[in-house]
Amino acid sequence: MTLWEYVEDRWDLILFETAQHASMVAQCVLVAAVLGVLIGVATYRRPRLASLATASSGVLFTVPSLAMLGLLIPALGLGVAPSVTAIVLYALLPIIRNTVVGLQGVDQLVVDAARGIGMSRGRSLTRIELPLAWPVILTGIRVSTQLAMGIGAVAAYVSGPGLGEQIFSGLARLGGANAVNSTLTGTIGVAILALLFDGCFVLLGKLTAPEGPLSRRLTTGGVRG
């Protein structure tokens, strides 16, 4: 059986697993993005706290994903729970780090102006600092997404959902019928998904750039009907 025949034969299953994989990665990155930006916002003004946050997420980062998943089994069992937890933990680091770097990189003169014309801390953060740090934060989310794609595949080790199932079952039956086809399908599927997600980020980045169409709409629209 050729690879193409294999894919045609199991089209429904592969499509389902791909959708599962995409959905898991998207949701995990979303959670990690919300958590990561919040942690970044909470710590960026205090250098010591900020380096503690990046250092501890950095330590997590050095744990091999297979080991991490294994370590999570006693606490969370098998299936979705350990997979999601591991992906979120890994996805946090680039987002926290980029949020801190992005916010600290905002021109102090601009922040001073925002405070000086009477913006509260919160307003300055949401209207000025976060929008200006956004390209850097978005890059962090993008890196996290690529990371989550790969770890999502490994998550099949703890019976997690997604395309990892194809890869692991293929590897387990190496030499048997369709073993290579299965592994290849899983691998190529993850690669295609990763490219699609990355494309979305490029588009999102262009739309939300500080001088991009969305920002133009938001800022000028506020002034002129």
Partner 1 sequence: MADQSTTGVPIELRKVTKAFPGGGEPAVRELDLNIPAGEIVVLVGPSGCGKTTTMRMINRLIEPTSGDIVIDGRSSHDIDPDRLRRNIGYVIQQAGLFPHMTVAANIAQVPKMLGWDRARIAERVDELLTLVGLDAEAYRDTFPRRLSGGQQQRVGVARALAADPPVLLMDEPFGALDPISRERLQDELLGLQDDLAKTIVFVTHDIDEALKIGDHIAIMKAPGHIVQYATPAEILTNPADGYVEQFLGAGSSMRLLRLTKVGDIEVDQVPYASEDADAAAVLVEIERDGRGYALITDGMRRPLRWVSAEQLQGVEGPVGSAGDAITGTLGHRMTLQDALEALLNADNDVVPVVGRRRAYAGALSLSTVQNAIQAIKTRERERRLHRNHPGGSG
Rule CB under 8 A: which residues touch partner 1?
A: 107, 109-110, 112-120, 123, 128, 131-132, 210-211, 215-216, 219-220, 222-225
Q: How many CB atoms lie within 10 A of CB 144?
A: 26
CB of 104 to partner 1, least distance (A): 16
Q: Which is nearer to partner 1, 67 or 109 (CB)?
A: 109
The minimum distance between CB 115 and partner 1, in angstroms, equals 6
Q: Among residues 62 and 220, whose Cβ is nearest to partner 1? A: 220
Nearest CB to partner 1, comparing residues 16 and 217: 217
Minimum distance from CB of 46 to partner 1 (Å)? 15
Closest distance of CB 126 from partner 1, Å: 12
**Residue number, 177 or 206, with CB nearest to partner 1:** 206
